[in-house]
Every structure is written in structure tokens, then in C-alpha cells.
Structure 1
Amino acid sequence: MKPVLLLVHGWGFDAGFWAPLRAALDGYETVAWDLGFFGAGARPDLPVGRDVVAVGHSFGALWLLHHRPVAWRALVAVNGFGCFTRREDFPQGNAARPLQRMIAQFGAAPGEVVAAFRARCGCAESVPGALNAVALADGLRGLAQWDARPAVVELALCGRTDPLVPEAMSEASFPADVTQWHPGGHLLPVEDPGWCAARLRTFLELLG
């Protein structure tokens, strides 16, 4: 029996982010959790007795590694990371100051911070709904504080021109033998869902 794919989106997005990839993965059952950045969120139950392959995009991969909400058979990171900010033993991470600036500005102008972040990611769509400021603020703190290394994943899909997760950061986060590169940016499941789906299908077939 095929595994069910548990999809977890990144910061500043919602479960609708996965729509293009879910369409491209026709034939596989997917369950998308919503972390509640715009509204209450939702975490539908997973089918009982089925293997789970967790797929996290960006912060979603870090969230999965940090919380480990289910026992998965494999974990796939898409534009992901096990630690976002620079550490003494992780100089490839992002500098803390820009993120601290986002956190400082968020209280006064949450909508502007989210919109600017989405634009930086390459998303031209408007914010999908009413902001859940508490959940978004918690997510920002997670980006600043969580360190889930070693980020043990079975597949990492990375973008060569990702403005949030540069090549060096991806190379330091994941072994070369589980990493596959796309020339695109930070929103690979939206930019090229066909490419992501093809890599996932191959991976799932090999997984058995």
C-alpha cells in the first residue's frame, strides 16, 4: 500500500500552498496540515495503519523536526533546514539581525512584515486571510531559536537561487547523497510542482 504524504507548509503561508503539488501527485493520498497563520488552522487525522512520509516546506521542515508530531517512515525537506539562524558551529545559517528586525517590527505592523516576507520568497499573491498574530509570532521565534540538527531527512529538494536558504546553507544542512537541486528559488512546490512531484514519485517508488 502506498504511503500517505503529510504536507506541512512554511511560515507566512497556509495549507493552500500545496495545491499545485497535490494536483501533480495524482495517485498519491496527501494530507495537508495548516499551522494556523491565517485563522484557526487544521490538522486532519492521518489514515490509520498507513506509512507516513512527511514533507515539510521551509519552516514546515523545521517544525516537523522540532515537534515530531507523528512517527514517519521518511522525511522530505523542500527548501528546508534544520536550523535557520547562524550558530558558532553553523556559520552558513542566516544572520540573526534581519530576523530580529522582523520580530521587532511584527508587533506594530504584522501585515506588512508578512507581505514583505512573502514578496521576498517570490510570492505575488495577496495574504490569504486574517492574520493570526500569535501563531505567526511564535513561528518567528521558532525560526530564531530552534535548532533541530542533525536534520535527518531522506530527501532534500533545494533551489540554487533560493533567497532564504542559500546553496551553502543547504549543503551544510543535508548530505549530498540525499540532496537534489533545482535552478529555482524558495517556492519550488509552486514554481515547478511537476519537478517536485517527479522527484517525490521516484523517491516513493524506491522506498517501496
Structure 2
Amino acid sequence: MTDGARLPLVCLHGWGFDASTWAPMRAHLDGWDIHADDAGYFGRTVAAERPAAYVAVGHSLGAMRSLEDAGAGCRGLVLINGFARFSAAGDFPTGVAARVLDRMLTRLAADPAAVVGEFRRRCGAADPIDAGTLDEAVLAAGLRQLRAGDARAAWAARRVPVRILAGDADPVVTPALTAASFGGEAVWCAGGGHLLPLTHPAWCASQIRAFVRELAGAPDPA
């Protein structure tokens, strides 16, 4: 029987990163049953097991994917540096201009390492990448998802509790974009940027532990 206070976690990372995003946070969740997807941006795709009951934890694009793809076993969502929609639209002016993503897509075909490296630096990641492992087709598909994806209907129809974790100094998903996506529900990390699982892993882990403990007393979604 699954301990309700230690429900397994299913983790989905963001664009331009991989499953190692969760390594620092895992160190603060020692012994926890954690399953991490890898989107394959660096050539290694992993579809993590979905236990019978679990909490989905998503970062950035992985947060939107978690919101859209929450299966029957999902008992709660932790969305970190996330959004319900990323690109701007007529009814979502706070989003990032589509031309920014279009420009990234155009440059990606010629020099994927430059595009990914520049994005990661903007996020706050200074570590070098292995350009030889980059999968341009998978990266392009992710950018198209950022451009066209819209999980606002999934957010409005959510059936499980959600914890929103955001950084008030996030240069990619700004506080305004967080608010436009989720209203006033976010828990803010003072001084936090776009890579909270990497830069503030202990804080993220403590928020997850508290959230899952709260879920232990909640009934299953109808």
C-alpha cells in the first residue's frame, strides 16, 4: 500500500534540459519514490512509469505538460516556474511574443547548440552542453509546443489540488506571466529565478513534502 504522505513523484523537465534537472532536489528527498521523464533533447528519451497513484511535478514546459497530461492516477500537481500558456495570443497578451519562438525555430535548424546554450544561459545555467547529443527534431517539437500549447482549459478544469512554485526574479516566466496563468495561487521564492529545482532544491523539496502531506488527508478525485 502506498503511504499517502509519501506518494511517488513523476517529474517532467523543461525545454533545453533533461532529467538531471531533478538531481539536486532528489538529494533532499532521500528515499522518495521518484520517476523522471526525459524528453530526449539530448538524445535520450525516457517515458517514466506512472504509478497507480502519484503526484506530478513539472518544471517550465514540463509544468504545462503535467497539467495537460495528468492521468487517472494523478493525485496532485506541483508546477514549478510553470505556465498554462507561454506564447502571447489575442486573449493572452502577457505571453512571450510568437516571433521570439519563431526566431529560435529558424536558428535551431542552423545551429541548435547556439540556441540551446543561449536559452540555458538566460535561464541561469552556465554549465556547458554536449552539442553532439542534441536532437534538433525533438527540440523543434518542444519549441512548437511552447508556441502553440495552451493548457488554460486544463487549468480551469483541474480536479486535483495544485501547488504553484514561482521565482519572483524569473527572467523567463515572469511574475506577470505566472499571475496571468494561475491567478494569485503561487508560492513565491524570494530572489528565485527560472531554475528553482537547481538553484533552490531544498526549498522545492520542502514545498513538495508539505504539499504531499496535505494530500494525505484529501479524498481521491471523483
Alignment correspondent of 1:137: 140
Tell me how far 1:29 sits from its aligned partner.
Answer: 1.2
CA distance in 2, matches of 1:70, 1:95: 34
CA displacement, residues 58-96 of structure 1 (integer Å, 9 cap, x when unaligned):
010122233446641111110001110011111111111
Amino acid at match of 2:104: M
TM-score normalised to structure 1 length: 0.93
Answer whether contact 1:57 1:77 (CA < 8 A) is retained: yes
- Size of the alignment, in residue pairs? 205
Alignment correspondent of 2:14: 10
CA distance in 2, matches of 1:14, 1:38: 7
Alignment correspondent of 2:177: 169
CA distance in 2, matches of 1:147, 1:158: 19
CA distance in 2, matches of 1:109, 1:81: 27
Answer whether contact 2:10 2:48 (CA < 8 A) is retained: no
What value does the CA root-mean-square deviation take over the aligned residues? 1.6
Answer whether contact 1:13 1:37 (CA < 8 A) is retained: yes
TM-score normalised to structure 2 length: 0.87
Alignment correspondent of 2:220: none
Q: Where in structure 2 are the equivalents of 1:122-161 lying within 5 Å?
A: 122-128=124-130, 130-150=133-153, 151=155, 152=158, 154-161=162-169
Structure 1 residues 201 and 68: alpha-carbon distance in aligned structure 2, compared to 1, 3 A threshold: closer
Answer whether contact 1:14 1:34 (CA < 8 A) is retained: yes
CA distance in 1, matches of 2:8, 2:164: 18
CA displacement, residues 163-196 of structure 1 (integer Å, 9 cap, x when unaligned):
11111110111132x3100121000011110111
Answer whether contact 2:40 2:46 (CA < 8 A) is retained: yes
Q: Where in structure 2 are the equivalents of 1:33-112 lying within 5 Å?
A: 33-47=37-51, 49=52, 51-68=53-70, 71-112=73-114
Alignment correspondent of 1:114: 116
Amino acid at match of 1:92: T
CA distance in 1, matches of 2:65, 2:48: 17
Answer whether contact 2:94 2:176 (CA < 8 A) is retained: yes
Alignment correspondent of 2:212: 204
Q: Percent identity?
A: 44
Tell me how far 1:116 sits from its aligned partner.
Answer: 0.4
CA distance in 2, matches of 1:89, 1:68: 25
CA displacement, residues 115-162 of structure 1 (integer Å, 9 cap, x when unaligned):
000001000111156001111110000000111104346111001110
Unpaired runs of at least 5, structure 1: none
Answer whether contact 1:66 1:146 (CA < 8 A) is retained: no
CA distance in 1, matches of 2:41, 2:167: 24
CA distance in 2, matches of 1:56, 1:156: 10
